[in-house]
Amino acid sequence: MAKVRLFAFLLTLIVVSVSAYFISLYARGYRFNTKTGGVNPNGLLIVKSDPDGAQILVDGEFKNLSNSTFPLPPKAYDIVVTKEGFIPWSKRLIIEKEIVTEVTANLFKIAPSFSAITFSGSLNITPSRDLAKLAYIVPSLPTDKNNTNTAGLWVLENLNLPLGFSREPRRVTDGNLQDSELVWSPDGRQILLQTNAGLFLLNVGEFTPENKRVNILAKKQTTLDEWQIESEKKLSAQISRLPEQMQDILKRKSSEISFSPDEEMVAYTASASANIPNYLVKELPGSSTQKQVRDIKPGKTYNYDIKEDRNFLIDDDSVDLAIIGGTSTIFTRRLSWFPTSRNLILAEPNSISILDYDGTNKRIIYAGSYEAPNAFPTLNHDRLIISTNLGSISNPANLYFLIIK
């Protein structure tokens, strides 16, 4: 009886071990080849999409719907994710054996729609540094000499509210402010309003009438210096997470710096040549196989993936390009982060594009009349905010939601 028990135990152990081995092979992408009778090594490709239900084409052949996993023999593939009514997403991916490659295709409408935010015009649109708020000026009507209409400084909060809810713009102060300048505080709670009558520090959470504003022109430089120190401290804390060589490049050889919302990426414009050494961090399985550039050149804009130690060229000529979060004040194009942290928005004259964080998949989501480069992300993934008169020369530009999903 003891021998029977021992035999049963050993047999069970062998079966479990063999099963575990084959399960391990399957999980690593190995599949049985019916033609050769052998087991071939594969990689696993996971394709997700937003919205889901998109078709996945591999080298032109339909494979499955999005949010699925399937094995592929190791080599380069052209992957296309497509859904009716949306701009296709495509990328060449290198599949490696026993490695899981995961991609998420953000799809955007071929024909986006509009939803009006303002109706009386919007001027001097200025985003807060964290993009959570937009400040703008509503001009005075020529027939309203007492400014009793909606004229003044307004703030729109880009809150990610549940479906069916929206946060209405809030008036911060009144008056004729058409020629004024706006500067946000680093924490987004205050605005410096520069007018012909003086300089005023306003709290954006409350309304301050024109006759109650206090002129702080004598404290202008002190206030700006304090805000600059506060901004530099925050940026220094963000940069300190990076490898020392990248810290040096961002501090000494970059003019524009903007971290992604999840702070796992950093877009920057190089101000001097430099080389990013290889293997600043340990290479991760399944890291991006897209072409990267580690010899950086001045005037070009890059994105550095902190987690995977990959550096991608985003824009080849950044003379007139500003990055939200950077320091440029004169520009015709603007680069900003999409809230996914895996896409960037490029606002240029006559067009707005969204591209992947590695510089690939540049897709024009809007082509037409708008006040470039006034296109801003919101905390909702399905819309942007743009300034446009919809092609009507006789009407002032207003703020609109551009619904892209």
Report yes or no on 240 lying in a domain. Answer: no
Tell me what pLDDT residue 173 has.
96
User: What type of residue is 126?
Assistant: T
Tell me what pLDDT residue 210 has.
94
Question: How is residue 231 written in tokens?
Answer: 């901004």
Q: How far apart are CA 405 and CA 168, in angstroms?
A: 21
Report yes or no on 310 lying in a domain. Answer: no
Tell me what pLDDT residue 11 has.
57
Q: Give the pLDDT of the chain (405 residues) as one tens digit per residue.
A: 666 565 555 556 565 554 444 454 455 555 545 444 445 678 999 999 999 999 999 999 999 999 999 999 999 999 999 999 999 999 999 999 888 999 999 999 999 999 999 998 999 999 998 888 999 999 987 655 555 578 999 999 876 544 444 578 999 999 999 889 999 999 999 999 999 999 999 999 999 999 999 999 999 999 999 999 999 999 999 999 999 999 999 999 998 899 999 999 999 999 999 999 999 988 888 888 899 999 999 999 999 999 999 999 999 876 678 777 555 556 889 999 999 999 999 999 999 999 999 999 999 999 999 999 999 998 888 999 999 998 787 788 999 999 999
Question: How is residue 378 written in tokens?
Answer: 């919101």
Report yes or no on 6 lying in a domain. Answer: yes
Domain containing 70: what range? 2-106
Please report, for the domain that includes residue 40, its CATH number.
2.60.40
Report yes or no on 305 lying in a domain. Answer: no
Report yes or no on 136 lying in a domain. Answer: no
Q: How far is CA 78 from the centre of its chain?
A: 24
* Count of domains observed in the chain: 1
Tell me what pLDDT residue 394 has.
77
Tell me what pLDDT residue 275 has.
96
User: What type of residue is 103?
Assistant: V
Tell me what pLDDT residue 379 has.
83
Report yes or no on 99 lying in a domain. Answer: yes
**Start-to-end Cα distance in the chain:** 69
Report yes or no on 259 lying in a domain. Answer: no
Report yes or no on 393 lying in a domain. Answer: no
